Amino acid sequence: MIHFEWPWLLAALPLPLVFRWLMPAHQPSGQAALKVPFLEDFLDGETPRIPQTRQWPLVLAAIAWLLLVIATTRPQWLGEPIEQAVSGRDLMLAVDLSGSMEAQDFVINKDPVDRLTAAKWVAGDFINRRVGDRLGLILFGTRAYLQTPLTFDRKTVLTLLNEAVLGLAGDNTAIGDAIGLAVKRLGDQDANSRVLVLMTDGANTAGEIAPLKAAELAAAKHLKIYTIGIGADEMVVRSFFGNRTVNPSVDLDEDTLVKIAESTGGRYFRARNTGELNNIYLLLDQLEPVEKDKQYFRPRSELFYWPLALALALAGVIAWTHVRLS
């Protein structure tokens, strides 16, 4: 259907008549070169009429004005309504890019991979499932950076996550700064729910704000934090002296991650392998379900350029006619 965005501009249609009434045509003051005392003898009893060649430019001008006014009302073609699910939730992902994330203690399709690759592989499905949520992405190491502001464009969030590389934000771990940045970006948003999913494999070794202090700020802003400790408990390392078993997650500060989650109303999860990490994201889908509130969007196509183009074309014809008759 056709919709007019500014229909009140149709009130401008009678403006030419108003100006004609307020400012009548100017009468020439000069004397005629030839005086005919008996003009009616030359007209054979008929009143003078405007020649037809002088009438049709006036008709074209009226049509051009009508088209111009219609163009100013901004006509649009409204398409069929498209259903959009909107949850009203703002969800931020914070991913650790510190040097320890390069430990290859995860397996995907029987191939050993580093922790960041496993995080990308599992988080991709989670991002695709969050239809209706506004998603954002924070990458942190020695510093915390906002990689993606809040957006409904899940494809962009996933693309920028996949493009993240180890050491991009430094080799240390600034958990407190990552939470503080999330508070800054989510705290003042008008949303029904604010959630931060923070994934790390270490302890806070950098940054300007302590993790627990940042958690207090998050709780004050009603920001719920789910923390994920990533890394295996055991890993076989081959060396010149043979194989030995080590704990690659010895630096993981689980106590702090638990306190951060509990102080904000969230939960702490431990991901020792790809399967557990995937189950955590499935559980997050249950804890923070995508709501089914429906909104409808109707695509709009602008049509104003059609009447505008016709009006300009008629104006050109009128100008050409005026030049020809003069």
Indicate whether 75 and 146 sit together in one domain.
no
245 - beta bridge partners?
Answer: 236
Indicate whether 237 and 320 sit together in one domain.
no
Residue 12 domain flag = no
Q: Which residues contact 19 (CB under 8 A, 6 or more apart)?
A: none
Contact assessment for residue 164 and residue 147, using Cβ atoms and an 8 Å cutoff: yes
- With 60 as the cut, is the pLDDT of residue 239 above it? no
pLDDT tier, 247 (very low <50, low <70, confident <90, very high otherwise) = low
Indicate whether 180 and 317 sit together in one domain.
no
Indicate whether 188 and 71 sit together in one domain.
no
Contact assessment for residue 136 and residue 90, using Cβ atoms and an 8 Å cutoff: yes
The residue with tokens 């995937």 is: 278
Q: What is the mean pLDDT of residues 280-291?
A: 78
Domain count, the chain: 2
Indicate whether 169 and 317 sit together in one domain.
no
Indicate whether 324 and 212 sit together in one domain.
no
Indicate whether 244 and 166 sit together in one domain.
yes
Indicate whether 220 and 257 sit together in one domain.
yes
More confident residue, 170 or 140: 140
Residue 17 domain flag = no
Domain containing 284 equals: 84-295
- With 70 as the cut, is the pLDDT of residue 295 above it? no
Indicate whether 285 and 320 sit together in one domain.
no
Write the DSSP assignment of 36-61 as a string of letters: -TTHHHHHTTPPP---HHHHHHHHHH
pLDDT tier, 261 (very low <50, low <70, confident <90, very high otherwise) = very high
Residue 33 domain flag = no
